[in-house]
Amino acid sequence: MGEEEELREKGIKALKMLLFEGSTPGLKGWELKRRLGKDYLAALEVAKVEADKLGLRIVKVEDEEDKSPEKARYVLQPKEPLREAELSKWLRIEEAAALAIIDVELNLRGGMVQRKTIERILTQKLPSWRVKQIFDKLKRLNYIEEDGDILRKGWRMIVEIDEPGLLKDVISKAKET
Amino acid sequence: MRRDKLIRERIIDLPRELERSGADPFLVDIKDLLEKLKRKKRNVELLKLDSKALNSVSKIVEMQEKWVVDALKGLRVDPDLVREKIKKLSLKEISSVLSKNFYPIIGLKRISVERLRDGLVYWEIVRPWGSYEEPAPIAYKDLATETLSLTPESVKEKANKLYVELTPLLEKGPIDYRSYLSRFPEKERLEKAFLLGYLATIGKIALKKEPLTKTILILKPGKGEPFSIAIEVSEIGRGRGA
């Protein structure tokens, strides 16, 4: 098998590995390296081309402390945002709305906010037991992180949400209504 | 005509005025502007003004986008303004806004063969839940046994005969299982009970146990999740239910 052909096969294998996720979405660089070999980064480049044909993109999420590719997480995302009806496959309406509100509030407050502040906002429209459930779910899915009483953005919030777009659309939408 | 001209001239000047005053470009209602441009018959002069006015509208949209991005970058957004705007929206509207800016991670959850095997083992050992929990089976040594002289062919034949007998009765309504069997002498009763069980298994009839009264009814087959029940028949005909 030629070198080029071998790399292409590794690229397809990388794409399959990213598609069939385990308990946490995506794969760390070291996991890909262990399965694909030292040239896993080249294989990822091939995988990006193949993903593009499917309307997907491979995104690298760097570790906060260690910026090496081996510590980064690689995930698959759609190239286009979701259609409204598709969102319900990920989150319920109130969960999606809460995620948007938390994201906007975190941006307004420089990335950190007290949990009770968010609770006060969300309980204006949702019962407190539901708010607690939503917090738990968003934490479990890595959309938010909680450190004592302080909430921060989880890595999935940063990767999956186009934040300037969201804020712009929140303001524009409010203008329409 | 003069009024339409004035409206268009006013729209054309708007971007310049916003720049000069530094006002929030979201104070301009784009939807309303476009509505105003739709109205009235047009002549060449108005069409020219329309084109300039539309250009101005697109400039204002650009300014709105720039305003948000700049504000977000420098965190200079007035938080109260944004919160007020969020308050005006319903949960559905907010979730709809998120969907336009949401790129979820794609992945298929999978299960390994080992995990499936574990699941099957677990299913075998887990205790039934709620109403599905039946009393433990009676130990075999305590059971009265009786040999029935039946062959696979005779079972089918006798079951069919019993089904023909039951059909007109079932048309009138459910039959009490114990009363029905109590009409027969002991040996025949056991055979009938076996045949009723066979008819229920192949779906020709249904047996239902009323949870409160413990009464067992013979019914026409209906909808619902089928499950097995154990029925004691040795006491039937002795004036006492099982």
pLDDT in tens, B120-149: 888 888 877 766 666 666 565 555 667 777
Q: Report the complex ipTM.
A: 0.86
How far B53 CA lies from chain A's nearest CA (Å)? 20
Task: Kindly state the average pLDDT of the residues A17-34.
Answer: 85
Task: Kindly state the average pLDDT of the residues A68-76.
Answer: 92
More confident residue, A168 or B164: B164
Sign of CA dihedral B128, B133, B138, B143: negative
**CA atoms in the 13 A half-sphere facing the CB of B142:** 4
Sheet containing A73-78, strands listed edge to edge, beginning at the edge strand earlier in sequence? A27-28, A73-78, A56-61
pLDDT tier, B5 (very low <50, low <70, confident <90, very high otherwise): confident
Task: Kindly state the average pLDDT of the residues B100-127.
Answer: 83
Task: Kindly state the average pLDDT of the residues B99-116.
Answer: 83
Distance (Å, rounded) from C-alpha A128 to C-alpha B177?
52
More confident residue, B211 or B92: B92
More confident residue, B45 or B201: B201
Give the chain B residue nearest A89 (alpha carbons). B104
Q: What percent of chain B has pLDDT over 90?
A: 9
pLDDT at B134: 65
Distance (Å, rounded) from C-alpha A115 to C-alpha A119?
6
Q: Is the pLDDT of residue A52 over 80?
A: yes
pLDDT at B240: 42
Coil/strand/helix, residue B149: coil
pLDDT at B215: 86
State whether residue B2 sits within 8 Å of chain A by CB.
no
pLDDT at B231: 81
Yes or no: say if B82 and A168 are a contact pair by the CB < 8 Å rule: no
Q: Is the pLDDT of residue A85 over 80?
A: no
CATH 3.40.718.10 fits A84-176, yes or no: no
pLDDT at A3: 79
Give the chain B residue nearest A78 (alpha carbons). B103
Task: Kindly state the average pLDDT of the residues B78-82.
Answer: 77
pLDDT at A74: 93
Q: Is the pLDDT of residue B53 over 70?
A: yes
- Mean confidence (pLDDT) of chain B: 80
Per-residue model confidence as pLDDT tens digits over A146-167? 887 889 899 999 999 998 888 8
Q: Cβ A169–B94 below 8 Å, yes or no?
A: no
Residues in chain B closer than 8 A to A172 (CB atoms) = 26, 64
Task: Kindly state the average pLDDT of the residues A65-92.
Answer: 85
Distance (Å, rounded) from C-alpha B183 to C-alpha A177?
76
State whether residue B104 sits within 8 Å of chain A by CB.
yes
Residues in chain B closer than 8 A to A14 (CB atoms) = none
More confident residue, B22 or A77: A77
Q: Cβ B86–A104 below 8 Å, yes or no?
A: yes
Q: Is the pLDDT of residue A67 over 50?
A: yes
Helix/strand/coil percentages in chain A, nearest 5: 55, 15, 30
Q: Is the pLDDT of residue A49 over 90?
A: yes
**CA atoms in the 13 A half-sphere facing the CB of B144:** 8
pLDDT tier, B42 (very low <50, low <70, confident <90, very high otherwise): low
B29, B68, B95 member nearest A97 (Cβ):
B95
pLDDT at B41: 63
pLDDT at B222: 80
Q: Cβ B106–A78 below 8 Å, yes or no?
A: yes
State whether residue B27 sits within 8 Å of chain A by CB.
no
Q: What percent of chain A has pLDDT over 70?
A: 95
pLDDT tier, B57 (very low <50, low <70, confident <90, very high otherwise): confident
pLDDT tier, A1 (very low <50, low <70, confident <90, very high otherwise): low
Q: Which contacts qualify for A118-125: CB closer than 8 Å, 24 or more apart?
A: A118/A151, A121/B83, A121/B86, A122/A98, A124/B87, A125/A94, A125/A97, A125/B91
A20, A166, A171 member nearest B101 (Cβ):
A166
Match 């690298």 to its residue by tokens: A60
Q: Is the pLDDT of residue B85 over 90?
A: no
- Mean confidence (pLDDT) of chain A: 87
pLDDT at B139: 60
pLDDT tier, A48 (very low <50, low <70, confident <90, very high otherwise): very high
Tokens representing residue A120 in the block: 């006060």
Domain chopping of chain A, boundaries: 3-78, 84-176
Q: Cβ A93–B91 below 8 Å, yes or no?
A: yes
Q: How many CB pairs under 8 A join A and B?
A: 155
Q: Which of B:126-145 have CB within 8 Å of A?
A: none
pLDDT tier, B38 (very low <50, low <70, confident <90, very high otherwise): confident
Q: Is the pLDDT of residue B217 over 50?
A: yes
Yes or no: say if A89 and A47 are a contact pair by the CB < 8 Å rule: no
pLDDT at B241: 38
Sheet containing B216-219, strands listed edge to edge, beginning at the edge strand earlier in sequence? B175-176, B216-219, B206-209
